[in-house]
Amino acid sequence: MHLSRRNTGLLLAPILATLVWFLASALPYEARIVATIMVFCLTFWMTEVIPLSMTAFLGVLLAVIVGVAKIETAFQNLGHPIILLFIGSFLLARSMTRHGLDKRIALFILSQPFFQQSLFRLFLGFSLVSFVLSMWVSNSVTVAMLLPLILGVTQLVCHQGDGKNASVYFLLGIAYSASIGGISTIIGSPPNLIGVNYLAQEGIRIDFLQWMLMALPLSLTMYGLMLLYMYYFLSKSTYDRQLVKNYVQEEVSKKEKLKKGELITMGVFTLAVILWLSPGFLNLLGFEEAYTFMSTYFAESTVAVLAALLLFLIPPGQENEGQGTITAEDLVKIDWDTILLFGGGMALGQLVVSSGLADIIGRGITTFIDPEQELMLIFILVLLVLFLTEVSSNTAIAITFVPIIIGVLHEIEVPLLYPVLGVVIACSFAFMLPVATPPNAIVYGSKQVPIATMVRAGLILNLVGATLITLWVLLYMAL
């Protein structure tokens, strides 16, 4: 199956690219070349012919070979501060996983009597962990960590009548919670960082706290609606509280007492969060000089790298004699594909802007949509990105389409901030297919979730998400 998909991509990419080259003959040379390259890369991304990051590099390399980009500047984005933010926050997450801090947090919440009362409350406990951890840690790491615990619980509880169905929605709900939680902070999901970077290029700077103040109300509303949706499916199932209580007690008893590695990770993580949030608080309180100092010398990426370096420097006592809390081994285990995809993809995105292609597409879209119809325009853009994300990496879609949408907004003279954030958030709200987001892929990989159920459940949440984002954008624009 994977092989045939790859071969389809190898066949389709050159055909579609050639087609675009001939159909776009009216465009200026640079825009025409970039459009051809983008279609080629999109096809490769959607069919995963080679790793996603390597497709981004291939696109930039093609642009250099045909002369629309200079080799001196083409790969500059690999040294972008946001790349450092990725590396630092991935290493923080790695330290949590390595020392079992994430699992300890999950077990602490599940051991509370409140969450053991019913199947839905148990789900609420798991989904809360998934939602909150995904704000700070990669959502794929969060779901991968929770999966063994969830499978253990659902095998115990969901074993009669409609139990199978209950376990499917249990797993889906955890994946959805991670995707929804990921939009709450700048570091929660890669598309968030991409949106912030493109807005910075347009002269609009958003700090960590500002993003949270804007995105958290939306993520909490969507999370609440998802809980209601899951309650409908989970409330019908039978449930044995004692079995779960015994299982959680057994898991808790396996955990040793808090190790030094966990304490160091917790301390460094807390320090990072304080430093990330403090410029925003200082700005809110009107301390202009302190805000300027903090945002200049303790920018998000500086803080992330500082946190990672502290973890390399501080030894966790007897556990790893002569080593840091994390080691060179952990450096290899972080998600380099996403990091490199970001660097190469941002270079591709800049070509879309610098070649004038973004503005041309923007003008094209505005001929179909009346600029006065703001509601319709934003809903269509959000829906378009959301469903495109279903068949490709959300990072790749954000990199490709955010510059185009900025072009559309420039063309119709609509302020950029909220519509761009809406589109970026839509990249994380694809719930229908395994390839849409890493959490979907992980729960699908457990072999417990039929694809038809994921599509059905996800389609409804996609439409709810698109509507919610549109209303949120319009509300913020009105305010």
Q: Is the pLDDT of residue 183 over 90?
A: yes
Most confident of 38-47, 123-132, 251-260, 437-446: 123-132
Q: Are residues 218 and 310 in the same domain?
A: yes
Domain-terminating residue out of 272, 300, 332: 332
Q: Is the pLDDT of residue 113 over 90?
A: no
- SS3 string, the chain, reads CHHHHHHHHHHHHHHHHHHHHHHCCCCCHHHHHHHHHHHHHHHHHHHCCCCHHHHHHHHHHHHHHCCCCCHHHHCHHHHCHHHHHHHHHHHHHHHHHHCCHHHHHHHHHHCCHHHHCCHHHHHHHHHHHHHHHCCCCCHHHHHHHHHHHHHHHHHHHCCCCCHHHHHHHHHHHHHHHHHHHHHHCCCCCHHHHHHHHHHHHCCCCCCHHHHHHHHHHHHHHHHHHHHHHHHHHHCCCCCCHHHHHHHHHHHHHHCCCCCHHHHHHHHHHHHHHHHHHHHHHHHHCCCHHHHHHHHHHCCHHHHHHHHHHHHHHCCCHHHHCCCCCCCHHHHHCCCHHHHHHHHHHHHHHHHHHHCCHHHHHHHHHHHHCCCCCHHHHHHHHHHHHHHHHCCCCHHHHHHHHHHHHHHHHHHHCCCCHHHHHHHHHHCCCCCCCCCCCHHHHHHHCCCCCCHHHHHHHHHHHHHHHHHHHHHHHHHHHHC
pLDDT of residue 216: 94
Q: Is the pLDDT of residue 384 over 90?
A: no
Q: Is the pTM of this model over 0.85?
A: no
Q: Is residue 398 part of a domain?
A: no
Domain-terminating residue out of 332, 355, 376: 332
In the chain, the number of structural domains is: 2
pLDDT of residue 271: 92
Q: Is residue 373 part of a domain?
A: no
Q: Are residues 196 and 93 in the same domain?
A: yes
* Digit-coded pLDDT (tens) for 193-205: 889 988 988 889 8
Q: Are residues 106 and 253 in the same domain?
A: yes
Q: Is residue 103 part of a domain?
A: yes
Q: Are residues 27 and 164 in the same domain?
A: no
Q: Are residues 154 and 278 in the same domain?
A: yes
Q: Is the pLDDT of residue 320 over 70?
A: no
Q: pLDDT confidence of 425, banded at 50, 70, 90?
A: very high
pLDDT of residue 371: 65
Q: Are residues 46 and 160 in the same domain?
A: no
Q: Is residue 276 part of a domain?
A: yes
The lowest-confidence range among 26-40, 109-123, 154-168, 321-335 is 154-168
Q: Are residues 204 and 246 in the same domain?
A: yes
Q: Is residue 31 part of a domain?
A: yes
Q: Are residues 328 and 199 in the same domain?
A: yes
Q: Are residues 135 and 212 in the same domain?
A: yes
Q: Is residue 63 part of a domain?
A: no
Q: Are residues 19 and 168 in the same domain?
A: no
Domain-terminating residue out of 298, 332, 366: 332
- Average pLDDT in the 41-65 region? 86
Q: Are residues 25 and 98 in the same domain?
A: no
- Average pLDDT in the 465-478 region? 92
Q: Is residue 171 part of a domain?
A: yes
Q: Is residue 138 part of a domain?
A: yes
pLDDT of residue 2: 47
> Domain range for residue 138?
81-332
Q: Are residues 4 and 109 in the same domain?
A: no
